[in-house]
Amino acid sequence: MSNKKGERYCHLNVCFQDNIFSIMQYACVIEKYVGFCETDFGARLMTKEAAYLRNELKSRRKILDVGCGIGAFEQRLPELNIIGVDMSKEMIETARARTTNPYCLADATRLPFLDASFDALFYVTSLEFMDNYKRGIDEAVRVLARGGKLVAMVLNQESDYFKAHYSKRDSYFRRIRHKNPVEMADYIAQRFYVQTSYFLGIDAEEIFDTQDKRYASLFIIKGNKK
């Protein structure tokens, strides 16, 4: 085998190994997340978040879940007409196996939908992980009809809950891209009538209502399109 062929073989082998490693990583992440959702604490947490979304979106006819992951909210909100999108093929495949909702493999900054085709859209701990959240919001503006509702549940990085998880070297929270939710709210407010609040207090495995940002795990940004 010539050096050139040998180099090409090595390159392809490395790429193959990288792809296998990436798939194994995603499988591990999905397995951990499914496992978390099925714990008592995880189920109570997701149920509380789903109840909030139900209250905010119950009157909406066509809803987009951006960063739907394994379809956890589609599973908990079967009465709502939700379409889920995620950029992970593995997540989409898992979601399709768990619910009958329609799902689409897509980038949040390039949504494959017509202008003004939804009257509500939500993000649950996904907006802050995007490389370019502003482009994601611009797409939300495009696909939402006038008066369309946006709800973003963003991790509150001032909370004890966030800090405890972030301190772990292998924490998923370390992948966060944007650490200033107030700045995100200001950008959203350019095109929406915005309200913000804190939500979902967590202390150890106790879950409670609070506006105290030390305990509130989420910063809520919600509003209607101008």
Task: Give me the pLDDT at residue 30, please.
Answer: 73
71, 88 Cβ separation under 8 angstroms: no
Indicate the residue type of 120: A
Residue ranges of E strands in the chain:
63-66, 82-86, 103-105, 118-124, 144-155, 192-203, 206-208, 216-225
- d(CA 14, CA 81) in angstroms, rounded, equals 43
Give kind and range of the element (H or E) at residue 9: helix 3-37
pLDDT at 217 over 90: yes
- In the sheet with 63-66, reading across from the earlier edge strand, the strands are 103-105, 82-86, 63-66, 118-124, 144-155, 216-225, 192-203, 206-208
Structure tokens at 198: 């804190």
- d(CA 147, CA 138) in angstroms, rounded, equals 15
Task: Give me the pLDDT at residue 10, please.
Answer: 32
Predicted TM-score (pTM) of the model is: 0.86
Using alpha carbons, list the distances in angstroms from residue 208 to 74, 105, 158, 216: 23, 34, 17, 9
Q: What is the mean pLDDT of residues 16-31?
A: 46
SS3 content of the chain, % helix, strand, coil (to 5): 45, 25, 30
More confident residue, 24 or 194: 194
- The count of C-alpha atoms lying within 13 angstroms of the C-alpha of 212, restricted to the half-sphere facing its C-beta, is 10
pLDDT band at 27 (very low <50, low <70, confident <90, very high): low
Structure tokens at 87: 């950029």
- d(CA 204, CA 29) in angstroms, rounded, equals 22
Question: Can you say whether residue 70 is alpha, beta or left, with left for phi > 0 and alpha for psi between -120 and 50 degrees?
Answer: alpha
In tens, the pLDDT along 144-189 reads 999 999 999 999 999 999 999 999 988 888 999 998 999 999 999 9
pLDDT band at 2 (very low <50, low <70, confident <90, very high): very low
In tens, the pLDDT along 81-100 reads 999 999 999 999 999 999 99
Is 40-225 in CATH node 3.40.50.150?
yes
Question: Can you say whether residue 39 is alpha, beta or left, with left for phi > 0 and alpha for psi between -120 and 50 degrees?
Answer: beta
pLDDT at 54 over 70: yes
Q: What is the mean pLDDT of residues 206-222?
A: 97
Give residue limits of the domains in the chain: 1-38, 40-225
Task: Give me the pLDDT at residue 25, please.
Answer: 46
Average pLDDT of the chain, as a whole number: 88
pLDDT at 62 over 70: yes
pLDDT band at 36 (very low <50, low <70, confident <90, very high): confident
Task: Give me the pLDDT at residue 32, please.
Answer: 75
pLDDT at 18 over 80: no
